[in-house]
């Protein structure tokens, strides 16, 4: 006689779970819209992101923002660390580019680009953090 009760409980659990899934799917907010997410595996720091004409880069949430910038020859770029841990700005192409050492939270580092070219850099502590500075005439 206990088996019908067990089957009833299992059936109720399944119906409640199905209802919860239906409700979650039917009432999802635009903030959770998976259809608009980039599922390609690329990050905001990928080099296919358009370069921004600026001389200021923010370090926050373990990322450089904007990741790709364009400046004129002779411009000084300043990286400001608004993150909770130290980061570096380290040139990766064996060129004469930025090499900050540790930039502590709340601190900044500046570098003047005197030669046109493309300078790739990363955080040596967190190598997945990458950026590019393109210097034009």
120-137 per-position pLDDT tens digit: 999 999 999 999 999 999
Assign domain 52-136 to a CATH class: mainly beta
CB atoms within 10 A of CB 71: 21
Residue spans per domain, the chain: 52-136
Please give the helix or strand (H or E) that residue 59 lies within, else none: strand 56-60
47-88 per-position pLDDT tens digit: 446 778 889 999 999 999 999 999 999 999 999 999 999 999
Q: Give how far Cα 80 sits from Cα of 24, 37, 54, 77, 111, Å.
A: 40, 28, 13, 10, 12
How much is the pTM? Answer: 0.64
């Amino acid at each position: 006689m206990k088996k019908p009760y067990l089957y009833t409980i299992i059936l109720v659990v399944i119906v409640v779970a199905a209802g919860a899934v239906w409700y979650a799917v039917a009432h999802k907010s635009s903030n959770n819209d998976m259809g608009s997410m980039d599922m390609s595996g690329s990050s905001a720091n990928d080099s296919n992101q358009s370069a921004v004409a600026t001389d200021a880069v923010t370090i926050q949430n373990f990322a450089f923002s904007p990741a790709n910038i364009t400046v004129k020859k002779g411009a000084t770029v300043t990286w400001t660390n608004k993150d909770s841990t130290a980061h570096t700005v380290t040139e990766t192409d064996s060129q004469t580019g930025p090499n900050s050492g540790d930039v502590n939270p709340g601190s900044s580092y500046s570098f003047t680009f005197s030669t046109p070219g493309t300078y790739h850099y990363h955080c040596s502590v967190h190598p997945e953090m990458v950026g590019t500075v393109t210097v034009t005439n």
